[in-house]
Amino acid sequence: MARPKNFDEERALDAAMRAFWVNGYHATSTQDLCDATGLGRSSIYNTFTSKHELFTRALTRYLEAMTARQLEVLEDSAKSPLERIRALFDLLLAGEEENRRGDRGIGCLTVNTVVELGGADPATARLIERDQDRRMTALRAVIARGQRDGEIRATRDADQLARFLNSVVAGIRVAGQSGADRDVLAGIAATALDALVA
Amino acid sequence: MARPKNFDEERALDAAMRAFWVNGYHATSTQDLCDATGLGRSSIYNTFTSKHELFTRALTRYLEAMTARQLEVLEDSAKSPLERIRALFDLLLAGEEENRRGDRGIGCLTVNTVVELGGADPATARLIERDQDRRMTALRAVIARGQRDGEIRATRDADQLARFLNSVVAGIRVAGQSGADRDVLAGIAATALDALVA
DNA sequence: CCGGTATTGGACCGAACGTTTCAGAACTGC
DNA sequence: GCAGTTCTGAAACGTTCGGTCCAATACCGG
């Protein structure tokens, strides 16, 4: 047929994702993307059409990877509902530990994107909304199950508790980004769980 | 002496603050700032030196205004500690209600700035850190007081609970920014309080 | 009312932005 | 090894960026 690309598209996507994650959409220039991926401008535009399209692809990849891992934890039938939620926080904390630049975390691409583009880029906002729905559904199910088992307080409905947890997750991400260390984040997570078991 | 400025510096600062708040630092151009303030380039640069300096001034103003209002609530001796914390959430929810563009909130300039610039702009990060210290100190004091009175659980120390609340506040801001309505945010706040009172 | 000083609007600066173009290189199928 | 197709690197596109310059203007103190 024709000349093949001499780079791995998914590897390039990962590098771009990382760049957007660390610096944000606007602060990442096409030159930065070339440097991060090791590709030339032509290859990037030939493969991904535009900066925005590349961002969309990178974000989609991020959402899929993160949510897949979270759902795996939430649906682990070897654990009780409450243990799964604890495991979810463990996963989160491990991720925060892993992704640090200097004295602070780089946050979560989802949260970062909601904050930076949420109001200005409806297509991206929808992408994140659909992902949130998936996570919320799984979370709600686990909580409802825990409530039936008597492991989780039933004084608030599963939906409300799920939204609370989801919001705490975002809060932990922001706290990590503003410099809180692992112990502090673990303390926040543990305290949040108090609201579920009391 | 000489010709006086024919605009109100603080009013201009408010307008600039609003622009940065809604769109973020990078996505707000100097032209946007001219449009928002109604000033010409010359007046802006003559008064504020640079875009970054204007941002610093605007952020400082925001921090001062927000924190002053929060401290006022937290130090209201007419209320019990727990009532003060409830009032803090009420203040937060009222602010979220007030600041909406379309179907979503515009968040909180502090959180937005941590997310957008936290890792790349140490001077700004320090500014926010100092502000956070003030708010955390007040929060810790109120919680400690509530614990002495037996109104707040003493199974976790005041510092940990304060960090938890602070993180929930950020989480609520992000949730509002991703489209959650008032009832949902109120539910998150109420659930967070469960962790304090058991 | 005039001299001195600061502010103002608008033209303008070089640099960087996202994107396009294109000639040449590289690979496939025949 | 040639024809056909795609990829690649480099140069260049027009636009917008943050910031400067300057002549005209407006005000104050004397």
- pTM of the predicted protein model: 0.96
Using the CB atom, is residue B43 less than 7 Å from strand C?
A: yes
Cα–Cα separations (whole angstroms), residue B98 to A28, B94, B186: 32, 6, 14
Using the CB atom, is residue A77 less than 7 Å from strand D?
A: no
Angstrom distance (rounded) from CA A77 to CA A88: 14
Angstrom distance (rounded) from CA A196 to CA B1: 67
- Tell me, what's the pLDDT at A56? 98
- Tell me, what's the pLDDT at A136? 98
The answer to whether residue A167 neighbours chain B at the CB level (below 8 Å) is: yes
The answer to whether residue B101 neighbours chain A at the CB level (below 8 Å) is: yes
Angstrom distance (rounded) from CA A55 to CA B41: 33
Contacting residues of B for A27, CB less than 8 Å apart: 26, 116, 120
Q: Which of B118, B192, B194 sits opposite A198 (nearest CB)?
A: B194
The answer to whether residue A181 neighbours chain B at the CB level (below 8 Å) is: no
Q: CA of B135, closest CA in chain A: separation in Å?
A: 14
pLDDT less than 70: residues of chain A: none
- H/E element, A101: strand A100-101
* B19 pLDDT more than 90: yes
The answer to whether residue A161 neighbours chain B at the CB level (below 8 Å) is: yes
Give the long-range contacts of residues B70-77, CB within 8 A, separation 24 or more. B70/B135, B70/B138, B71/B134, B71/B135, B71/B138, B74/B138, B74/B139, B74/B141, B74/B142, B75/B138
- Tell me, what's the pLDDT at B2? 86
Query: What average pLDDT does the structure give for chain B?
Result: 97
* Nearest residue of B to residue A131, measured between CA atoms: B178
* B198 pLDDT more than 80: no
Instruction: Give A7 CA → D9 C1' in Å.
Output: 15
Question: What are the structure tokens assigned to B193, written together?
Answer: 């309080």
Question: What are the structure tokens assigned to B107, written together?
Answer: 């968040």
Contacting residues of A for B167, CB less than 8 Å apart: 168, 171-172, 174-175, 188
- Tell me, what's the pLDDT at A198? 77
Contacting residues of B for A63, CB less than 8 Å apart: none
The answer to whether residue B156 neighbours chain A at the CB level (below 8 Å) is: yes
